[in-house]
Structure 1
Amino acid sequence: MKTHEFLTLLEQHKNKTLLFEYAPNAFVGNNYHITEVKHIQVDSVDCGAQTDAWNETIVQLWESPNDIGKDQAMSVLKALGILNKVGRIKPYNPVAELKIEYSNDAFHTAQLFINDYALQNNSLILKLAVQKTDCKAKEACGIKEEAQPLGEVAEPCCEPGGNCC
């Protein structure tokens, strides 16, 4: 989801509560805060020596120990207020990919994509997902795009003696 799509979605559901589902039936606690918004410029070189560049917006969530047991999560309107204030200080790149950064005691720190959303009762539920790492230079590394049978592991792109690193 692009940053402008995220902000538009929030604008359309201002009167709802904002929930984040970081795994199936696992939600960020109602005690979450938006603690940071990062405007990231990625400038990369992959294992096939190809360059790439893109922008990301990362919204960091944190569960406050002072608000444990809170009965209702943040409203979409409050989240929009925070995000709009950030946008006035450091303007967003509207086409930047949006990620949610989150962790708790049972879930490692990860940057999650908004995979889908649902409206349920009076809530906007953002369904988050992890995007697995991947080799962007499969052709240069001689890796076939075919699915691997269960139990088999594809040859690593950058193994010693490989043709791409």
Structure 2
Amino acid sequence: MNAIDKTLSTDISLGLLLEALSASRDLPLVFRYDGRSIKPGYHVTEVKAGQFSALDCGANPEAWAEIFVQLWDVEEGDRTHMAAGKFAAIIRKVSDHVKLDGSAKLTFEVSDGIRPMQLYCASTPVVSDDVVRVDLIPRAASCKPRDRWLAEQVQAAACCGSAAAGKCCG
């Protein structure tokens, strides 16, 4: 599996993230990116939802919903990492004012206030050592027609190698 395929397979939605966090509400939520953990004083500075329409490089129309969670990676005094429940409460408060589609593509925007903001997708949260960890993987550019073709190849290979081969490999 190449890096692009791995990135695509780890991308989760906001709904899946919140569902995974619900069992560990009191544990610290630690995002990891660029090989390190986010600082304990990090802030969720903005949550925004968007509806996008585009034309891809194969002249195919595209439409999707996306939610952006902006993290400010700063250290503030003696603060500790925010609890998973507090993060979920921030998202709930936003959803009281902005319609958030739980199945929408989720993108994290992260900056320390000095370096330019970078875009990341999130992996499924993992609980270990009494901490909820979410790895943020750089969101790479991709070619949607190629991505669709690769997905079809994977599906065909899985289908043709199974007992259902006669039904889908004709």
1:2 corresponds to which of 7, 13, 36: 13
Q: Work out the CA distance in 1 between the residues paired with 2:124 and 2:115.
A: 20
Deviates more, 1:102-111 or 1:123-132: 102-111
Aligned length: 137
1:132 corresponds to which of 122, 134, 140: 140
1:92 corresponds to which of 97, 100, 103: 100
2:27 corresponds to which of 13, 16, 40: 16
Unaligned runs of 5+ in 1: 140-144, 146-165
Code of the residue aligned with 1:101 in structure 2: it is E
Q: Work out the CA distance in 1 between the residues paired with 2:81 and 2:146.
A: 43
Q: Work out the CA distance in 1 between the residues paired with 2:72 and 2:93.
A: 19
Aligned alpha-carbon RMSD (Å): 2.3
Q: TM-score, normalised by structure 2?
A: 0.72
Counterparts of 1:140-155 in structure 2, within 5 Å, are none
Alignment pair present for 1:28 and 2:30: no
Determine helix, strand or coil for the equivalent of 2:101.
coil
1:40-98 CA-to-partner distances (Å, cap 9, x unmatched) read: 11111112221101011111111346x1x535211112111111111111121121011
Residues 6 and 98 of structure 1 are in contact (CA less than 8 Å); yes or no, is this contact kept in structure 2?
no
Q: Work out the CA distance in 2 between the residues paired with 1:85 and 1:138.
A: 38
1:53 corresponds to which of 59, 63, 66: 63
Code of the residue aligned with 2:20 in structure 1: it is L
1:99-139 CA-to-partner distances (Å, cap 9, x unmatched) read: 21102378642221112432122210001101321223459
Judging changes above 3 Å, is the alpha-carbon distance between structure 1 residues 70 and 99 closer, same or farther for their aligned structure 2 residues? farther
Unaligned runs of 5+ in 2: 1-11, 148-152, 154-170
Determine helix, strand or coil for the equivalent of 1:16.
coil
Which one has a larger percent helix, Structure 1 or Structure 2?
2
Identity of aligned residues (%): 26
